[in-house]
């Protein structure tokens, strides 16, 4: 039996695509292995949103080159966003790669392997990866892609090039997929899209679906216990969606709402389409409707032209919004984006100093938010054993990892009394009925 090794980088959409890659390979008769040395086919599912992802990929492809030199019969496949952007140029950088295909063309993977020694970029019939079969990591959780691509064209972002414009799935197809997943034992689904709350905006005709309407349809499915979604664009956070989060029992009290900056000047240069005050107004509407909601965000420092005053505005945004957690990163230029041609780059030393201050501020705030839950009882969906010996790990409805003492099986929903907190996790013990 042929074997394959799979390494996936990047966002939840790539995790979702990796499930489809596993299904395509295993349905084609391949068995998964955990070491590149044991694999006949090496697959790297790539991200190219940030320079750091490219750098990590280069290191892993060095391992692929090593094992292929030992046995040239091995096939090396690069899938995902990087080949969608670079296409045939990828083979100039990595001449030992046999097959490249973008996220819209995962359907072509079996045919690409069959023709692999011809070497090339495969761009056959495109399809949303949500329309392909999947092999899930956990039987009780599933990713469900509802929209692909993005049309916002933020100045720093390569996603529209890598994944194309927004394309929503038919709501009936999403509903049918979730019904089948629940019948197969799934308790929690996470709806995915580069801009998930833009679902339906590209569909035409009477009764155009909305994201809030889709959430309402999913909430009615018997046996479905939790619905999550990511990632949301602040500009598309409607009052209808806020009300859906507040009123639908299955929709979890968590939203990831990337702010990127607290400076109106930088937000305009980024092409984000909103102001600092508008963003804070949306956060306030969420907290008023859903008092226990967790709001997480992305924050960028070092965008071209960012001054000390601009950065201070971001620090003030962090304090005003009261984020539960934040992913902070330094801007990196992506070839082909508008920002890559902008003047006034921020010196690396300055950007690193700023991101250090931002990390300290967001972690302190996260600790305050987590600590406020100590003494309460939260519902935890058990995912497995904790890294802390003898404990169990799961997530609460706010998407926070909870490590707790007490016997529970993966897939169980258990009440946990919170006894302690860090900036990223909670700890506790299973509550007695």
What integer pLDDT is reported at residue 178 of this predicted model?
A: 97
Give yes or no for a contact between 316 and 262, defined as CB atoms under 8 angstroms apart. yes
What integer pLDDT is reported at residue 238 of this predicted model?
A: 95
Full domain range(s) for residue 322: 129-370
Structural tokens at position 160: 């529209």
- Say yes or no: 230 and 366 in one domain: yes
Closest CA to 78 of 52, 105, 51: 105
- Say yes or no: 143 and 225 in one domain: yes
Closest CA to 179 of 218, 126, 209, 213: 218
Give yes or no for a contact between 145 and 16, defined as CB atoms under 8 angstroms apart. yes
Q: Look at residues 122, 155, 183 and tell me which one is the last residue of a structural domain.
A: 122
- Say yes or no: 325 and 358 in one domain: yes
- Say yes or no: 180 and 289 in one domain: yes
What integer pLDDT is reported at residue 81 of this predicted model?
A: 85
- Say yes or no: 328 and 200 in one domain: yes
Which residues fall within 8 angstroms of residue 267, CB to CB, at 6 or more apart? 260, 261, 274, 275, 276
Q: What CATH number does the domain containing 322 carry? A: 3.80.30.20
Q: What CATH number does the domain containing 389 carry? A: 2.40.50.140
Q: What's the CA gap between 305 and 302, in Å, rounded?
A: 8
Q: Look at residues 370, 399, 421 and tell me which one is the last residue of a structural domain.
A: 370
What integer pLDDT is reported at residue 83 of this predicted model?
A: 84
Cα distances (Å, whole numbers) of residue 154 to 150, 167, 391 = 10, 18, 43
What integer pLDDT is reported at residue 140 of this predicted model?
A: 97
What integer pLDDT is reported at residue 130 of this predicted model?
A: 58
Q: Look at residues 72, 100, 122 and tell me which one is the last residue of a structural domain.
A: 122
What integer pLDDT is reported at residue 208 of this predicted model?
A: 87
- Say yes or no: 330 and 357 in one domain: yes
- Say yes or no: 7 and 156 in one domain: no
Closest CA to 327 of 235, 274, 257, 233: 257
If one counts every other C-beta atom within 10 angstroms of the C-beta of residue 219, the result is 15
What integer pLDDT is reported at residue 430 of this predicted model?
A: 95
Q: What is the pTM of this model?
A: 0.88
Please say whether the dihedral angle defined by the alpha carbons of residues 157, 163, 168 and 171, taken in this order, is positive or negative: negative
- Say yes or no: 386 and 343 in one domain: no
- Say yes or no: 90 and 145 in one domain: no
- Say yes or no: 304 and 355 in one domain: yes
Closest CA to 14 of 145, 112, 124, 107: 145
Which residues fall within 8 angstroms of residue 145, CB to CB, at 6 or more apart? 13, 16, 128, 129, 130, 169, 191, 192, 193
- Say yes or no: 134 and 242 in one domain: yes
- Say yes or no: 259 and 285 in one domain: yes
Work out how many domains the chain is built from and give that number. 3
Q: What's the CA gap between 243 and 246, in Å, rounded?
A: 5
Grouped pLDDT means (10 residues each) for the chain, 433 residues: 91 85 92 95 86 76 93 92 83 90 85 70 54 80 93 90 87 96 97 94 85 98 98 95 98 98 98 97 98 98 98 98 96 91 95 98 97 97 90 97 94 97 96 77
């Amino acid at each position: 039996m042929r074997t394959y090794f799979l390494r996936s980088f990047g966002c939840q959409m790539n995790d979702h695509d990796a499930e489809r890659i596993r299904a395509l390979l295993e349905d084609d008769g391949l068995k998964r292995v955990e070491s590149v040395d044991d694999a006949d086919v090496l697959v790297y599912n790539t991200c190219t949103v940030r320079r750091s992802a490219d750098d990590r990929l280069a290191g892993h492809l060095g391992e692929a080159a090593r094992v292929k030199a030992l046995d040239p019969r091995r096939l090396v496949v690069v899938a995902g966003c990087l080949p969608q952007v670079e296409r045939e140029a990828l083979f100039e950088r990595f001449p030992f790669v046999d097959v490249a295909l973008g996220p819209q063309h995962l359907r072509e993977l079996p045919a690409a392997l069959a023709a692999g020694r011809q070497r090339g970029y495969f761009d056959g019939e495109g399809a949303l990866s949500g329309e392909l079969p999947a092999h899930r990591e956990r039987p009780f959780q599933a990713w469900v892609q509802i929209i692909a691509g993005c049309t916002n064209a933020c100045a720093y972002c390569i996603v529209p090039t890598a994944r194309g414009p927004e394309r929503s799935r038919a709501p009936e197809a999403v509903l049918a997929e979730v019904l089948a997943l629940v019948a197969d034992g799934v308790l929690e689904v996470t709806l995915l899209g580069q801009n998930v709350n833009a679902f339906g905006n590209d569909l035409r005709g009477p009764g155009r679906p909305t994201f809030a309407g889709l959430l309402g349809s999913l909430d009615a499915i018997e046996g479905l216990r939790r619905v999550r979604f990511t990632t949301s664009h602040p500009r598309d956070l409607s009052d209808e969606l806020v009300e859906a989060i507040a009123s639908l029992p299955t929709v979890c009290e968590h939203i990831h709402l990337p702010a990127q900056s607290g400076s109106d000047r930088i937000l305009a240069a980024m092409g984000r389409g909103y102001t600092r005050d508008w963003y804070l107004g949306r956060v306030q509407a969420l907290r008023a409707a859903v008092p226990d909601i967790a709001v997480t965000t992305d924050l960028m420092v070092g965008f071209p032209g960012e001054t000390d005053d601009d950065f201070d505005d971001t620090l003030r945004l962090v304090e005003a919004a009261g984020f539960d957690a934040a992913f902070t990163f330094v801007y990196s230029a992506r070839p082909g984006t508008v920002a890559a041609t902008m003047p006034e780059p921020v010196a690396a030393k300055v950007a690193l100093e700023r991101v250090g201050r931002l990390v300290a501020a967001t972690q302190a705030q996260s600790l305050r938010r987590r600590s406020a839950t100590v003494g309460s009882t939260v519902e935890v969906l058990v995912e497995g054993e904790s890294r802390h010996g003898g404990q169990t790990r799961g997530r609460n409805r706010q998407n926070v990892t909870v490590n707790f003492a007490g016997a529970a099986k993966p897939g169980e929903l258990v009440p946990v009394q919170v006894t302690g907190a860090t900036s990223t996790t909670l700890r506790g013990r299973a509550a007695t009925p």
